[in-house]
A and B are shown apart, each in its own frame.
Chain A
Amino acid sequence: MLGRKKFILGLKEKLIEKLLFLCSFLSVLTTFGIIFILSAESIEFFKEVPVLSFLTDTQWTPLFVNKHFGILPLLCGTILTTFIAISVALPIGLISAVYLSEYASDKTRNIIKPLMEILAAVPTVVYGYFALLFITPLLKKIIPSISGFNALSSGLVMGIMIIPLVASLSEDALRSVPNGLREGAYALGSTRLQLSFKVIFPAALSGIIAALILAISRAIGETMIVAIAAGQQPRLTLNPLVPIETITAYIVQVSLGDTPHGTLEYRTIFACGMTLFLLTLCLNIISFKLKKKFQEIYE
Chain B
Amino acid sequence: MAKNILETQDLKAYFGNKQILKGINLAFLSNTVTAIIGPSGCGKSTFIRSINRINDLIPNFRIEGNIIFNDQDIHDKNVDEVDLRRKVGMVFQRPNPFPKSIYDNIAYGFNIYGIKDKYTIDAAVENSLKKVALWEEVKNNLSQNALTLSGGQQQRLCFARALAIEPEVLLLDEPCSAIDPISTAKIEELIHQLKKNYTIIIVTHNMQQAARVSDYTAFFLLGELIEFGKTDGIFTAPKDKRTEAYITGRFG
CB of B57 closer than 8 Å to a CB of A:
yes
Expressed in whole angstroms, the minimum distance between the Cβ of B106 and any Cβ of chain A is 10
On chain B, the number of residues with a Cβ less than 8 Å from chain A's Cβ atoms is: 27
B112 & A189 in contact (Cβ 8 Å cutoff): yes
Partner of A106, one of B59, B109, B112, B162: B59
Partner of B85, one of A180, A182, A188, A297: A188
A183 CA / B52 CA spacing, docked (Å): 11
B92 & A183 in contact (Cβ 8 Å cutoff): yes
B-side contacts of A163, CB under 8 Å: none
CB of B100 closer than 8 Å to a CB of A:
yes
Expressed in whole angstroms, the minimum distance between the Cβ of B164 and any Cβ of chain A is 9
B98 & A184 in contact (Cβ 8 Å cutoff): yes
Expressed in whole angstroms, the minimum distance between the Cβ of B35 and any Cβ of chain A is 20
Known: A189-B165, A297-B147. A184 touches B112 (CB 8 A): no
- Digitize A183-194: 1 where CB-to-B-CB distance is under 8 Å, 0 elsewhere: 111111111001
CB of B94 closer than 8 Å to a CB of A:
yes
B108 & A198 in contact (Cβ 8 Å cutoff): yes
B89 & A183 in contact (Cβ 8 Å cutoff): no
A187 & B99 in contact (Cβ 8 Å cutoff): no
A178-236 contacts to B, CB under 8 A, are 178, 180-191, 194, 198-199, 202-203
B109 & A188 in contact (Cβ 8 Å cutoff): yes
- Digitize B12-38: 1 where CB-to-A-CB distance is under 8 Å, 0 elsewhere: 000000000000000000000000000
A-side contacts of B108, CB under 8 Å: 185, 188, 198-199
Expressed in whole angstroms, the minimum distance between the Cβ of A206 and any Cβ of chain B is 10
B-side contacts of A184, CB under 8 Å: 92, 96-98, 158, 161
B-side contacts of A203, CB under 8 Å: 98-99
Known: A183-B54, A198-B111. A191 touches B98 (CB 8 A): no
Grouping DSSP codes into helix (H, G, I), strand (E, B) and loop, the A interface class, with mixed when no group exceeds half, is: helix
CB of A105 closer than 8 Å to a CB of B:
yes
B-side contacts of A105, CB under 8 Å: 59
A189 CA / B98 CA spacing, docked (Å): 14
A190 & B82 in contact (Cβ 8 Å cutoff): yes
Expressed in whole angstroms, the minimum distance between the Cβ of B56 and any Cβ of chain A is 10
Expressed in whole angstroms, the minimum distance between the Cβ of B48 and any Cβ of chain A is 11
Chain B CB within 10 A, most for which of A190, A191, A202: A190
B59 & A187 in contact (Cβ 8 Å cutoff): no
A-side contacts of B57, CB under 8 Å: 182-183, 186
A178 & B147 in contact (Cβ 8 Å cutoff): no
B-side contacts of A178, CB under 8 Å: 96
Known: A105-B59, A198-B112, A297-B147. A186 touches B98 (CB 8 A): no
| A178, closest chain B residue (CB) | B96
B-side contacts of A189, CB under 8 Å: 82-83, 85-86, 109, 112-113, 165
Q: Besides the contacts A183-B54, A187-B92, what 8 more A-B pairs have beta carbons closer than 8 Å?
A: A181-B96, A181-B98, A187-B54, A188-B112, A188-B165, A199-B98, A202-B100, A297-B147
Residues of A that sit less than 8 Å from B by CB: 105-106, 178, 180-191, 194, 198-199, 202-203, 297
What are 7 residue pairs bridging A and B, where the CB atoms are less than 8 Å apart in the complex? A185-B108, A187-B54, A187-B85, A187-B89, A188-B112, A198-B112, A297-B99
